[in-house]
Amino acid sequence: MKWQYTNINYQKLVNDYDKYFVEGHTTWSEIYYASQIQKWDTLEYWENRIAPLSRKDEYGDGYRLVKKLLKESGCENPFVYLLNYYPKN
Protein backbone atom coordinates (compact mmCIF):
# COMPACT_ATOMS: atom_id res chain seq x y z
CA MET A 1 0.00 0.00 0.00
CA LYS A 2 1.21 3.49 -0.76
CA TRP A 3 2.64 5.64 2.02
CA GLN A 4 0.13 8.47 1.65
CA TYR A 5 -2.88 6.21 2.16
CA THR A 6 -1.63 4.63 5.36
CA ASN A 7 0.13 7.55 7.05
CA ILE A 8 -1.79 10.75 6.32
CA ASN A 9 -5.28 12.07 5.69
CA TYR A 10 -4.81 11.87 1.94
CA GLN A 11 -8.37 12.90 1.06
CA LYS A 12 -8.03 16.17 3.00
CA LEU A 13 -4.73 16.88 1.24
CA VAL A 14 -6.36 16.35 -2.16
CA ASN A 15 -9.36 18.45 -1.12
CA ASP A 16 -7.01 21.29 -0.10
CA TYR A 17 -4.55 21.22 -3.03
CA ASP A 18 -6.00 18.93 -5.71
CA LYS A 19 -3.12 17.10 -7.42
CA TYR A 20 -0.63 19.95 -7.04
CA PHE A 21 0.84 19.03 -3.68
CA VAL A 22 0.98 15.35 -4.62
CA GLU A 23 2.84 15.96 -7.89
CA GLY A 24 5.02 18.65 -6.32
CA HIS A 25 5.93 16.25 -3.53
CA THR A 26 6.88 13.67 -6.16
CA THR A 27 9.13 16.21 -7.86
CA TRP A 28 10.70 17.26 -4.54
CA SER A 29 11.33 13.60 -3.67
CA GLU A 30 13.01 12.89 -7.02
CA ILE A 31 15.29 15.92 -6.69
CA TYR A 32 16.15 15.09 -3.08
CA TYR A 33 16.82 11.41 -3.80
CA ALA A 34 18.96 12.17 -6.86
CA SER A 35 21.07 14.58 -4.81
CA GLN A 36 21.49 12.03 -2.01
CA ILE A 37 22.76 9.29 -4.31
CA GLN A 38 24.69 11.83 -6.40
CA LYS A 39 22.95 10.88 -9.62
CA TRP A 40 23.71 14.18 -11.27
CA ASP A 41 22.12 13.48 -14.65
CA THR A 42 18.78 12.71 -12.98
CA LEU A 43 19.13 15.71 -10.68
CA GLU A 44 19.84 17.98 -13.64
CA TYR A 45 16.80 16.61 -15.50
CA TRP A 46 14.45 17.27 -12.58
CA GLU A 47 15.87 20.67 -11.69
CA ASN A 48 16.07 21.98 -15.25
CA ARG A 49 13.08 20.39 -16.97
CA ILE A 50 10.49 19.68 -14.30
CA ALA A 51 10.88 22.20 -11.49
CA PRO A 52 11.78 25.52 -13.15
CA LEU A 53 9.68 28.61 -12.61
CA SER A 54 8.57 28.58 -16.24
CA ARG A 55 6.89 25.17 -15.99
CA LYS A 56 3.15 25.76 -15.61
CA ASP A 57 1.66 22.36 -14.84
CA GLU A 58 0.97 20.23 -11.77
CA TYR A 59 4.65 19.27 -11.50
CA GLY A 60 6.19 22.74 -11.72
CA ASP A 61 3.36 24.55 -9.91
CA GLY A 62 3.16 21.73 -7.37
CA TYR A 63 6.90 21.81 -6.70
CA ARG A 64 6.75 25.55 -6.05
CA LEU A 65 3.72 25.01 -3.79
CA VAL A 66 5.61 22.42 -1.74
CA LYS A 67 8.65 24.71 -1.43
CA LYS A 68 6.42 27.64 -0.37
CA LEU A 69 4.54 25.62 2.25
CA LEU A 70 7.76 24.20 3.65
CA LYS A 71 9.26 27.67 3.95
CA GLU A 72 6.14 29.10 5.60
CA SER A 73 5.90 26.21 8.07
CA GLY A 74 9.59 25.99 8.90
CA CYS A 75 9.68 22.32 7.86
CA GLU A 76 12.54 21.14 5.69
CA ASN A 77 10.97 17.86 4.65
CA PRO A 78 7.52 17.46 3.04
CA PHE A 79 7.05 14.05 4.68
CA VAL A 80 7.28 15.76 8.09
CA TYR A 81 4.99 18.52 6.85
CA LEU A 82 2.38 15.98 5.75
CA LEU A 83 2.54 14.09 9.05
CA ASN A 84 2.12 17.35 10.99
CA TYR A 85 -0.59 19.01 8.91
CA TYR A 86 -2.47 15.99 7.57
CA PRO A 87 -2.42 13.39 10.35
CA LYS A 88 -4.33 10.18 9.82
CA ASN A 89 -7.59 10.31 11.75
Q: What is the pLDDT of residues 69-81, one digit of tens each?
A: 999 999 999 999 9
In angstroms, the Cα distances linking 62 to 1, 39, 74, 88 are: 23, 23, 18, 22
pLDDT score of 82: 93
Domain regions of the chain by residue span:
3-85
Q: Which residue did the predictor score with more confidence, 4 or 18?
A: 18
76 phi and psi, to 5 degrees?
Answer: -105, -10
- Global pTM value: 0.79
At 31-70, the pLDDT tens digits run: 888 778 877 777 777 667 665 667 788 888 998 899 999 9
SS3 37: coil
Which residue, 1, 57, 67, is CA-closest to 29? Answer: 67
